[in-house]
Structure 1
Amino acid sequence: MRRTYTEPGLDCIADAPDRERVRLRGTLRTVTLRPRGGVPALEGELYDGTGAVTIVWLGRRQIRGIVPGVSMLVEGRIGRHGHDTQRIIFNPRYELMP
């Protein structure tokens, strides 16, 4: 899986730096609706064989094509959230992959 999602111009999730723009490619392992601060939020866990990062689209209950098992490319900044220092990207640009 790591070889599938590693190519020039892409970052590995495990090596991707925090607070810098990254381009990641992986598979969504889970997709859930989890409100944040009273606002709907669609959450997914993106996995690339090296690690996982949580992807969150605020204000969304669903997005066509965003389902478990889909391969996708995302761009955004990784931040840390909560006491467990969960790595997270809010409202990334994304592209569904065939």
Structure 2
Amino acid sequence: MPTAGYLKRLTRRLTEDLGDADAEKIAEESKATGAQRASECCRGDEVTMHGELRAVETCSRSAKAGVKAEFFDGSDIVMLKWLGRNRITGIEPGRKVTVRGRLAEQDGHKVIYNPYYELHGVDE
């Protein structure tokens, strides 16, 4: 009976947490690109990850000048920090990116300083 399977999928979609559904979608996109999963990477690793920018913040104070972005690949959050920059065109919340760099830790959180990045269009 094909309608039973359809109703089951529809019910799951209507009742699941939107954050979980979003994370699952991003994780599938990341896996399709062949990128590494943030949850499987450790400090010191040279990584290439694909995901989405969740939040972007600029700090103009001289000691902390730079751009910070929260990157999420469906498995874990990594902070991206570009030092000495006031603004980076295209680095904005909701944007899909592929980032490369060496993974570090700061206060127990994963960080990549001055990562190389590739911006992806909204429809990709």
**What is the TM-score when the length of structure 1 is the normalising length?**
0.89
Which segments of 5 or more consecutive residues in structure 2 lack a partner in the other structure? 1-24
| Residue in structure 2 matched with residue 19 of structure 1 by the alignment | 44
* TM superposition shift of 1:36: 7.5
Shift of the 8–27 alpha-carbon distance from structure 1 to 2, 3 Å rule, reads closer
Kept after mapping to 1: 8 A contact 2:52/2:95 = yes
2:111 to 85, 88, 92: 88
| Residue in structure 2 matched with residue 70 of structure 1 by the alignment | 95
* TM superposition shift of 1:17: 2.5
State the structure with bigger RCO (CA 8 A, min sep 6), 1 or 2. Answer: 1
State the percentage of identical aligned residues. Answer: 30
**What is the TM-score when the length of structure 2 is the normalising length?**
0.71
RMSD: 1.7
| Residue in structure 2 matched with residue 38 of structure 1 by the alignment | 63
Which segments of 5 or more consecutive residues in structure 1 lack a partner in the other structure? none
Q: Which has the larger radius of gyration?
A: 2
Greater helix share, structure number: 2
Q: Determine the C-alpha separation between the residues in 1 that align with 2:54 and 2:105.
A: 20
Shift of the 36–73 alpha-carbon distance from structure 1 to 2, 3 Å rule, reads farther
SS in 1 for 2:29: coil
Greater strand share, structure number: 1
